[in-house]
A and B are shown apart, each in its own frame.
Chain A
Amino acid sequence: MIDKAILLEKMKTSPYKPMKARIIEAKMVTENEKFFKIELEGKINLSHEPGQFVMVSIFGFGEAPISVCSSPTDKGFFDLTVRNVGMLTNALHKLNEGDIVGIRGPFGRGFPVDNMFGYDIVIVAGGLGIVPLRSLIRYIMHNRNDFGDVQILLGCRTPREFLFKEETKEWMRRTEIKFKCTVDRADPDWKGNVGLVTSLIPGVDINPVKTYAVVVGPPVMYKFVILKLLEKAIPDHQIIVSLERRMRCGLGKCGHCQIEGIYVCQSGPVFNYAQLKDFRGECHEGECYEKKI
């Protein structure tokens, strides 16, 4: 039971009230994805963990959960990369520099960076999965000495869908990070790998006990990637995934994001495979580990 005075204080405010935030940079990065740099009123820091999400609000349209794609070490602003796919994201795409949005959050649990301290990191991204992973990658870059070897594997459907082109070029140049990418379907200009992201995993050289693998992508991808990672003998709790769900409140109440007894908005979106494999329902076939690996 919490103190009555604290309770009365809490009743005066509302967790549904968004903070005012200004878009300080906006640009289309692919045909369907737009990048936003956002500054909270008073230039306060969002103080998020890599992998957490915010509820973006446009009054009149509603709210949607969006992953933060900048690192907490980027101070004074944060980044979002949004695919135009629903009502809110459609409205968001019409906004530009100087426009105002509402922000609630950050919500959920991010990537367990404290546990990953000193470990080698393998990052596997499929399509839009690179967006939440960018927060982790940037965090690792800014704290490079805290981590061992870092390898990034990125898969996309076509070369045109590659996000963060400038940054990935830099990742490729940097010697202390290994970066590989592949596309499902090449176009005539493509000179890199062709095939699913899973095809990159066998070539990765790792010491499984000393490695954290972080996987984010569309639901269909998880099962196949996790299978390959298990083949590499990475322990269950060192395979990290981030799940996408419908969310309305971010407060563990509205019920949309529930997987069994767990609210993804509070206990996730980041889970490790040891947690995930116990889930029986409410998962995409790809995520549903029960059928079993």
Chain B
Amino acid sequence: MKVKYAILEKQDLYRWVEYLKIKARLYAPKKKENLFVFGPVKNADEICLDYIPTILPPKKYYFPQKEKLLEFSIKPFKSEKAIKEFEEYILFGVHTCDIAGIQCLDVVFREYPEDPNYLNRKEKMTIIGIECFKYCDKYANCTSMGNNVPRGGYDLMMVDLGQNFIIHINSEKGERLVVELDYIKEAKPQDLAKLENFRNEKKKMFREELNAPLPEVYKAFSEYESFHSEVWNDVGRRCVACGNCTAVCPTCYCFDIVDELELTLNDGLRYRIWNYCQMDDFAKVATGEDFRKGRNSRQRHRYYRKFKYPVDKYNRYFCIGCGRCSRTCMADIILIETVDSIVDPANAQNYKGLIKNMPEVCQITQDTGACDDR
């Protein structure tokens, strides 16, 4: 690779977006009412790079909510892999936290036995990230999780330096999207110095959101008492088992498999659809035995699947700190509060939805007016 860092002037951004649109299908964050979503880009000016985490993570493109697994016919008995070819696509303007989410699912689906549907989609994916220099809101805990800065897993990473973007080229796939363009130039040493400067400034602004450092969080989750903590009962009492937290989580990947017949009642499709461990029947077997009965044990399971089990298994936290679960929760179950209370039960007395009354720290939504009616 010749160039490691490249410079894109801001007036050329739309030009580049148009270029990317020709190369592959392009998905980027767009404004939707007072929130943001990832969606296909028709016009370059739809893209909103100053955004708080989207309602759904970009997971919907590499692990769709409803995905065809098999095409089948009953008579004669036949089944075939439903999708053989995927199209090339680019995820544009992905936050570093969501990129960490993609890395998590990568570990899961590449583990034996590998999941060909995911691998197919991942193979066709190009990730162009954008690094945040503004704090999104009080629900995020990206700094504690270490995902406020880029840590690999992308093809290109854009950093807004004011007049221009500096682009880190991290893969050959990414390089191909910038090398042949005359308006994207190699970065000069002063650009890199500026980047360094920006990062130093950022360190002052981004503080760890959790009270305790991560190893202590893991230690707390490993302790025998934590499993039976009163915190889970409190969370369980508030939880309405709607499944929102798991639906919006970039690292939740549980699914169900359902068949749908066509009108002939002979041919049909077998789908994989998202399923949520917060649902009442998630761990219920046909005889009626439910192995995770209470909402408290289901919420506890969710937290352990972020802070304990994957650390043991993959040496990786499956919470990426995007804050989506807390932002979307109807019952004010706030991840930061729950984790803090597990680490130190004394915190439980101080919290219980308290964060809701804290002053808005969101810089982005204030600028874009996105949180006006929240």
Contacts and interface: CB of A to CB of B under 8 A. Distances in A.
Contact of B284 (A246, A253, A261, A280): A246
Interface residues of B, number: 57
17 contacts: A2-B114, A10-B119, A12-B116, A13-B81, A14-B117, A59-B74, A59-B77, A59-B259, A102-B79, A219-B289, A245-B291, A246-B283, A254-B254, A281-B297, A281-B300, A281-B301, A282-B297
Nearest to B110: A2
Name the residue among A12, A59, A259 with the largest chain B CB count within 10 angstroms: A59
A14 B70 contact: yes
Contacts of A251: 113, 115
Contacts of B315: none
Interface of A: 2, 7, 10-18, 20, 59-64, 85-86, 89, 100, 102, 218-219, 244-246, 248-249, 251-261, 280-284
Given A11-B116, A60-B268, A281 B292 contact: yes
B143 interface: no
Nearest to B228: A280
Interface stretch (B8-16, B169-177, B201-209, B306-314): B306-314
A248 B255 contact: yes
B255 A249 contact: yes
A10 B110 CA distance: 11
Chain B residues touching A, majority SS: mixed
A27 to B, nearest CB: 21
Contact of A261 (B79, B227, B300, B308): B308
What 9 A-B pairs come out closest when comparing CB atoms?
Answer: A255-B254, A261-B309, A86-B286, A14-B81, A85-B286, A100-B77, A59-B72, A11-B116, A16-B69
B179 interface: no
B282 A256 contact: yes
A102 B77 contact: yes
Given A254-B254, A261-B309, A59 B73 contact: yes
B292 A248 contact: no
Contacts of A20: 77
A10 B116 contact: yes
A16 B305 CA distance: 25
A13 B116 contact: yes
B257 interface: yes
B187 interface: no
B233 interface: no
Interface in B248-267: 253-259, 261, 265
Interface in B276-292: 277, 282-287, 289, 291-292
B254 A256 contact: yes
A104 to B, nearest CB: 11
Contacts of A63: 257
Contacts of B300: 281
Interface of B: 69-70, 72-74, 77, 79-81, 84, 108-111, 113-117, 119-120, 123, 224, 227, 253-259, 261, 265, 268, 270, 272, 275, 277, 282-287, 289, 291-292, 297, 300-301, 304-305, 308-310, 312-313
Given A85-B286, A255-B253, A283-B291, A62 B258 contact: yes
Nearest to B83: A14
A127 to B, nearest CB: 10
A59 B268 contact: yes
Given A16-B69, A246-B284, A284 B291 contact: yes
Most buried by A among B69, B113, B119, B309: B113
Contacts of B253: 253, 255
A11 to B, nearest CB: 5
B108 to A, nearest CB: 7
B297 to A, nearest CB: 6
B275 A255 contact: yes
A2 B111 CA distance: 10
Nearest to B292: A282
Contacts of A11: 116, 119-120, 123
A31 to B, nearest CB: 16
A245 B283 contact: yes
B265 A60 contact: yes
Contact of A252 (B113, B119, B259, B275): B113
B143 to A, nearest CB: 26
A136 B254 CA distance: 32
Nearest to A22: B77
Nearest to A259: B291
A260 B304 contact: yes
B115 A7 contact: no
A113 to B, nearest CB: 23
Contacts of A248: 255-257, 275
Contact of B286 (A59, A89, A283): A89
